[in-house]
Each structure stands twice: as structure tokens, then as C-alpha cells.
Amino acid sequence: MHFKKHLGFYLRILTLLIVILEIVVTNLAFQKKLILLSLLAIALVLDIAIHNPWYRIKNNKIFECLTYLIFILLGPVQLYGPLTILVIYYYFMVVATAEFTVKHQPRLKHFIIIQFIIYFSFFTIPTIKNYDFSSWKTYIALIFSPYTIQFWSTYLISYLYLNLLEKNRAIDGLNKELMTKVEQLQDYSNQIKELTLIEERQRISQNLHDMLGHSLIVLRLHLDALNQFIDTDPKKSHQILDKSKGIIDHSLVELRETVNELKETKELADLNSALEELGNSISVTDKVKVNLQKYFDVNRLDISVKDLIYKTSQEFITNSIKHGQSSLITIKLRLKNQTLIFNLSNNGLDANNIVASNGLKGIEHRVKNLNGTVSFSSNQPSGFKTDITIPIGVKIND
């Protein structure tokens, strides 16, 4: 493969070696023979220097000048050496020039023109005395001489062929690059699918945690109240049982919608009512109260912000009952400079060592998705609080 790629180089060197051999065996004076062999040796070294497969001269100017020099050096040789072999070498050089101009076009268009002038001069000057320059036919004959036609036809055919090969190589390179990009895009697509699947699983898991965790805690609170009133207040007990049944039915509906990924959170249609219902669902006794403070119409918020408010409130109430043993839970919503200020606090147990549970991580994830900030800290004099800020971006009237 390497030999075929550089076949032109090896053929040129072989041609020059044949010319050298012809000069050696010819019947020329020693001085002339020495001069011609010296010129051929220099031309051979220069050809190897600028065209060898192992190291190519990268400076275009040096490449041009050395090529011109080879043509000039071979001029005197064609007067005494084997003309046919030299012409073949010239044509090999023309092919090499075509290859070079293909790779460096259009800056080197003058390169081939200067070569032609040198080439044409050495073939024309020895016979110039035979031309009648007073006749226009002489100029026509020179322009369409065999040397001119052979030179330019060789160059043009070589140039067109090599230019086509170069474009095909470029197209092949682009195709390979395109295939590589397609494979990379396919890999990225698979990664995105996998990440999307993981994120969706986390979302469903978080929804189940928020919904079932809250419902079970509230149900446990109702059962404790039922145990308190079952002997002393049958009417109150029946009310608690009916409410517990409603909580179970509601939980089953939400569970079915979540699993089927068809959940259309109706609570978000009217967040005001949904928050009121959330607070009322645990107020079966005087043990736990929810103090809801809203200083603007929360229903005018974007649905993603409303979803965060509802689910965060749900999670906070659940944790306040389950872990904090709270009797008072405060949820405060207000706006300041197009920013939602969302504060939740309870009066339960001190929270000195806060460990981020799944619920708290879910809150952090939702807030981060809305470019907000969240902090968890102890409430004074006792309890736990969560402070959230969300940029709204638009002004909402109170």
C-alpha cells in the first residue's frame, strides 16, 4: 500500500538513474560527462529531498524553488543525454506538480506556469535559429508545438484526476467523521434515555413517598384520635372513621394515578383550597394545628411553583407529626421583589443534627429545578424550619 501510494516518486528516481547510466556509457568528453553527471546527481538529491515519502518539505516557497532548480539543472542534460527518458521524467515531475497544486490551490497557480516556461525554453532555445519570427505561423506553431500540448495535457489530466481523488478522500473523511458523530449521538441518546428513566423513577418514588407518607401519618393521627373518643364520644368516633375512610380512598386514587403516570394534580387547580384541605385533614383533635398565612393569591403562580408549594407543605406536615411531635405548624407565603418567600416552621423537637432524608432531598431537588434556594435549620425556641426562595420573574398582585 505504501509503495503504490508513492509509485510516482520511485519511477522518477528510476528514470533519473537510467539517464545517469546513459550518460556514463555515452561517448562524451570526460569534462562534459562530469558536468552532466554532477547536474543529474544534484537533481536526484533535490528530488529525493522534496518528494521522499519519509519527510516532506512543508515550506511552499522552498518546495517551489527546488522544483524550479531541478528543471533548470536538467536543461543542459537534454542537449547531450537521452531525450526520450528525460521527457518521461519531466512528465513525472508535471504529475507531482499537479498533486502539489491540488493540495495547495489556489495560491500556487503560478507554480506550473513558471515550470512550463523553463521546460519550454530548454526544448525551444537549441532550435530557435530555425524559426522565422516574422511570420505569425511561427508563433502558432510554437503555441501548439508537441512539447506544449504534451506538457499541458499531462498536467490537466493529472490535475483533474488527482483533484477528483482528493475530493473523494475528503468526502470519505467527512463520511467517517459523520459516522463517528452519529455513533456519539447514539451513545448520548442512550445515556439520555437512561438518565430520563432514572429521573422518572426518582420522580415516581418521590411522589409515592410524599403522597403515601403524608396519608399514612394523617391516618395514624386519626386512629389515635379514634382510640381517644371511641368509648366517650361515639358520634365523634364515627366522624373520625368517615374521615379516615375518605383519606384511604383518596390515597388509593392518587396511588393509581401515580403508578399509571396519569396523575393530574387537581389540588393545583385551586392551591388555596388544597392547602386549606391539607391543614384541615390533620385537625381532628386539638393536638396539631396548621396555621396557614398567605399574603397574595397563590393560584396566580406558575403550575410548577404551585406543585412545589403543595408537595413541600405536605412533606413538612408529615415530618412535623412523624419526627417532630409538633402541635403547631406554620406555613407562610409572601412575595418580595418578584421573589416567592416560602417559610415553614413547627414547634416540635429541637433539630440540632439535621440529616437529609428522602423527603428533604426531594424538597432540595424541586427548589433547585426552579433556580431557588432552600435552607433547613432549628426554630426558636424549639422545633424545625424550612426557608425557601423562588424567583417568580413576573409581578403578581396581592
Dump pLDDT digits (tens) for 143-178. 677 777 777 777 777 777 777 877 888 888 888 888
pLDDT of res. 259: 62
The segments of the chain whose pLDDT lies below 50 read 1, 262-267
Distance CA 335, CA 148 (A): 88
Helix (H, G, I), strand (E, B) or coil at 389: strand
The pTM of this model reads 0.42
Phi, psi of 86 (to 5 degrees): -65, -40
Range 155-158 contact pairs with CB under 8 angstroms and sequence separation of 24 or more? 155/94, 155/97, 155/98, 155/112, 158/94, 158/95, 158/98, 158/99
8-state DSSP, 126:
G
pLDDT of res. 267: 47
8-state DSSP, 387:
E
CATH 1.20.5 for domain 195-267, yes or no, is: yes
pLDDT of res. 344: 93
Alpha helices by DSSP H, listed for 230-357, are 234-259, 271-280, 303-322
Q: What is the mean pLDDT of the chain?
A: 77
Distance CA 377, CA 382 (A): 11
Ramachandran quadrant class, 279 (left: phi over 0; alpha: psi -120 to 50; beta: rest): alpha
pLDDT of res. 387: 94
pLDDT of res. 263: 42
Structural domain 271-391, CATH architecture: 2-Layer Sandwich (3.30)
